[in-house]
Structure 1
Amino acid sequence: MAAEPDFSRQFGRTSADTCGRSLYELLHPSAPSVLNRHFTRLSEGRSARFAERMVGLGNAGRVFSGELTGIAVQNTTGRLAGIVVQVRPDTEADTTDGKDVIGPPRERLLSKLDAQVLEGIAAGASTVQLAARLYLSRQGVEYHVGLMLRKLKAPNRAALVARAHSMGMLTVGQWPPRVLPEFIK
């Protein structure tokens, strides 16, 4: 409803540009799954405040980490009047280099088959299980895994899934995980 200039500046926006937007537009795609529970507890009166680690999105998809605090504000009758959100970044958001960019990619990274392999890996499927499910040989599955390891610069399968998740490629709060369509060619 309102945003102070310092709050908006952390996200590379003006107060006018921030007002009227969802808080979740300013945060990493995984934020709603974590923060919804906290905001529900505030609105139901089960807690007065919370603090949670967050990843904010600045200009052109630049990221910064910090702590987000939500505080329930009550009116004179004790009912919830609103929620104040404060963000304290760990460091100033770096908007000068091209590193740590998150959000929709400049180009679609994965083929449909690569996406299916990544979804299987994220769900814990073995190479043999993936080969049977996707009508590939074991070597075919390993070939696609190797391609994605190189594309995402990950040393192993666990890091591949972690990297894909941190880039917002995988759905959050859904099982089995799915690759979002904007990442598929």
Structure 2
Amino acid sequence: MDRTDPAAVVWRNRALMVFDRVSVPVAVCDVYGAVQLANPAMATECGTTPGRLRGRNVLELFRPQEATQVERIAEALRLRHRSRYQVSVRWRAPGGERYGELTADPVSDTVEETPALLVMLRVQGEREPVGEAPHARVTPIEARILALLADGATTARAARETDLTVDGVNYPLRRLSARWSAANRTELVARAYALGVLATGVWPPRAVASEGPE
């Protein structure tokens, strides 16, 4: 497909819109595992923004449980095999250590081209640190979003002020709501104060120093 063709540009933009809205963590990597594109869901699992994931190696972000799995996949890719590959991984998410499965599908326009990898993450569970309060741990970005909500910000305003998309704001809010059993955003902000994520007695609302990568 001619990438300069107007119809191709329209469909590319539509595909990127869908990519950003998908709730499943997804990234596109080169054949060596360097992230070229990531959606907000994938960035949230890493406690950062999609732009800051670009160039990072996916196997540094998500630690394989078996090194032999990665070696077999690398050999298969060198031989240009186009199967679906699965790797059991662990990673440090904002709420604690999690584990799951990375699925990598080689994709390219032609068989002759060196494929890119479409990587999807399936979260299977979470290990909460002993002796800590993991439910109160949030990333600086999540804390900033919560402070903006406490100040009465709309989702659109929170997206502008954090340099995220609207979906990039909604995804961590859905995760926090599920983690804290918050029925709505008013309750979510109340939980943030109760857990010490937001500072009390100050205005405008301000986040207490939070853990985790930006």
TM-score by length of 2: 0.38
